[in-house]
Amino acid sequence: MNKHYVMVIDQERCIGCEACTVACKNESQGAQGYIRVSTLDARQKDTPAGIFPNLRMIFLPALCNHCEHPPCADACPLEAITPKNHGGVVLDEETCDGCRTCLDACPYGAIAFNGDKDKAEKCNFCRHRIEQGLEPFCVVCCEGQALIFGDLNDSASQVSKALRAGNGYTLKPEDETKPAVYYLPPKQPRGL
C-alpha cells in the first residue's frame, strides 16, 4: 500500500510559540520577511477571546494543506506544482516563472511570492527530509509537541491514532480539495 503522508495539528497542545515558523524559516532558508508556516490565533485576531479574567486563545498553525486536489496545481500554467502520490504537493522553483496564478488559486493562502527570487514558495513537508526517513523540521522543533506527521495508511502510525481518538477536521471542506493537514480542536480553551 502506498504511503499517504499527513500532518495532524493538536490545537490543545499548540501554545503559539512560533517554533514551527522559526524551524521552517531555518530549514527552507527563506528570504527575509517571508515564511512558509505561521501560527495564527484561530479567530484571526490579535486579542484573546472572553472577558477578563476568563480569557483564552486557540492557535492555528497555518501551512500548505497538501491537497489531494490542489487548485494551485490546476492553475499553474507551467505545471510547476504537482501533487505527489505520497500525499504532498511540491512546487518546483526551477520551473516556476513567478506568474503568481497559484497564489490566487490557493484557498488557504499558503503560497507566497518571494520577490528576492521572483518565484512562488510554499511548504513541501520538508520533502528532502522525508526522503531520508526524517520528519519535517517543524515537527521536530515543536515545543508543545502539537505537530504530528506520518502515514495515514498505516493504522499503527501516530497520525492514524490521533485522528481516531480526536475529532479531526480540515479547513474549508466545502472546497473539496481533500487536504492532508488535519486539526484536533482543543478540548477546553486554555485560560490566560
pLDDT at 102: 96
Residue 153 lies in a domain: yes
C-alpha cell of residue 89: 504537493
pLDDT at 41: 53
CATH classification at residue 141: 3.30.70.20
Is 139 part of a structural domain of the chain? yes
- Domain extent, residue 88, equals 5-184
E strands in the chain: 5-10, 38-41, 49-51, 54-56, 59-62, 81-83, 89-91, 112-114, 119-121, 147-151, 181-184
Domain count, the chain: 1
Residue 177 lies in a domain: yes
pLDDT of residue 48: 67
The residues with which 151 forms a beta bridge, in sequence order, are 5
The answer to the question of residue 70 being in a domain is: yes
Contacts of 40 (CB under 8 A, 6+ apart): 59, 60, 61, 62
pTM: 0.86
In a domain, 170, yes or no: yes
CA–CA dist 163, 167 (Å, integer):
7
Q: Return averaged pLDDT per consecutive 10 residues of the chain, 192 residues in all.
A: 91 89 83 58 57 78 92 96 85 94 94 89 91 94 95 95 91 94 78 46
Asked if residue 135 lies in contact with residue 129, where contact means CB atoms within 8 angstroms, the answer is yes
Quick one: which of 26, 42, 2 has its CA closest to 190? 42
Query: Is 89 domain-assigned?
Result: yes
User: What is the pLDDT, as a whole number, of residue 143?
Assistant: 92
pLDDT of amino acid 43: 47
- The answer to whether residue 191 is domain-embedded is no
